[in-house]
Homo-oligomer: A and B are copies of this chain.
Amino acid sequence: MNNTQEMVISLALEAWKLNINRADKLFDTFSDEQWQTDVALGRNRGIYLLGHLAAVHDRMLPLLNLGERLYPHLDDVYLLNPDRAVTGILTADELKLSWKNVNETLALGLDALPETEWLGRHNSISEEEFIKEPHRNKLSVLINRTHHMAYHLGQLALLKK
- List the interface of chain A (C-beta within 8 A of B): 1-2, 4-5, 7-12, 14-15, 19, 39-41, 43, 119, 134-135, 137, 139-140, 143-144, 146-148, 150-155, 157-158
A19 to B2, CA, bound (A): 29
A-B contact pairs, 7 of them (CB 8 A): A2-B5, A4-B5, A8-B119, A12-B12, A39-B40, A40-B41, A40-B158
Are A14 and B151 closer than 8 Å at their CB atoms? no
B residues near A154, Cβ cutoff 8 Å: 150-155
Are B143 and A15 closer than 8 Å at their CB atoms? yes
- Closest chain-B Cβ to A121's Cβ sits at a distance in Å of 13
A68 to B63, CA, bound (A): 43
A41 to B10, CA, bound (A): 38
Copies of this polypeptide in the complex: 2
Are A147 and B144 closer than 8 Å at their CB atoms? no
- Name the 3 nearest CB pairs between A and B, nearest first: A154-B154, A151-B154, A40-B40
B residues near A153, Cβ cutoff 8 Å: 151, 154
Known: A151-B150, A151-B151, A155-B154. A11 touches B143 (CB 8 A): yes
Q: Of all chain B residues, which has the CB nearest A158?
A: B40
Are B7 and A119 closer than 8 Å at their CB atoms? yes
B residues near A9, Cβ cutoff 8 Å: 8
- Closest chain-B Cβ to A78's Cβ sits at a distance in Å of 16
- Closest chain-B Cβ to A2's Cβ sits at a distance in Å of 7
A151 to B155, CA, bound (A): 8
Q: Of all chain B residues, which has the CB nearest A9?
A: B8
